[in-house]
Amino acid sequence: MTANRLVFAAPAALLITLSLFFVMTRMIHVDLPPTMTVADLPRVVINEVIDETPACGRSCRELTVPDTVTPPPRPVAIDHDPATNPTADPIPPSEIPTLGPVDIGPTTVTWTVVDRDMQPIIRVEPNYPPRYLERGVEGSCLMQFSVMPDGVPANIRATCSNVGFEAASLAAVARWRYQPRVVGGHAVTVTGVETTLEFRLRN
C-alpha cells in the first residue's frame, strides 16, 4: 500500500516542484534595457573645424582690386589781388568830454509828523457760555479799558447784565489789538475806552 502511494505521489510532487520553480523564475525575471550600439551614442565634437566658405554661396562675386588708381583732378587756382591795408584810419577817434568836479551840497530831509487817533486792528468775538446758550439766556457787557502805546488793552473792566458773561468778555478784549494814538510823533496811552459786547441768540 505504501509503495502504491509512493508511485502516485512522486510524479505529483515533481509536477508541483516544477510549477513552483517556473512561477519563482517569472517573479524574479527583470527586463534588461536594450543594448546600445556605437551608432546610438551621441556625437561630441571638441575642436570642430569651421568651414570658411562664405555664407552667400555661389551668389558671391570675386572682388578685384585695380592695379593703378587715378588721382582726382587738382582744384582750379583763382587769381586775386591781395588786400591792401589802409594807411589812415577812416573812422576818427571819438572825443571824450572832460567833466569838471560836481558840487553836491548838503541834503536836507524834512520829516512831517502826522498825528493820528487809535484804530482797531484785531478784534476777537467772545465765546458764548455753553450753559447760557443751552438755556437761551441773552445779555450784554459794558467794557472799559485803556489802550497802551504798544496797542495792547490794559485795566480791562466788565459790567455785565449777567455775571456769567463776564469771563468770556474779559478774555476776548484782552486779545484785541489797536494802532495806538500818535501825538507829536509819539504813541500815547488812551484811557476811558468803552465798548459794549452783546450776547444774542440767532433765531
Beta bridge partners of 91: none
Whether pTM > 0.85 for this model: the answer is no
Question: What is the CATH code of the structural domain delimited by 119-199?
Answer: 3.30.2420.10
Task: State yes or no: pLDDT of 35 exceeds 90.
Answer: no
Contact 125, 136 (CB under 8 A): no
CB atoms within 10 A of CB 47: 4
What per-residue confidence (pLDDT) applies to 152?
Answer: 95
Beta bridge partners of 18: none
What per-residue confidence (pLDDT) applies to 51?
Answer: 59
Residue keyed to cell 486792528: 121
Beta bridge partners of 194: 144
pLDDT in tens, 112-141: 657 889 899 999 999 999 999 999 999 999
What per-residue confidence (pLDDT) applies to 74?
Answer: 73
What per-residue confidence (pLDDT) applies to 113?
Answer: 57
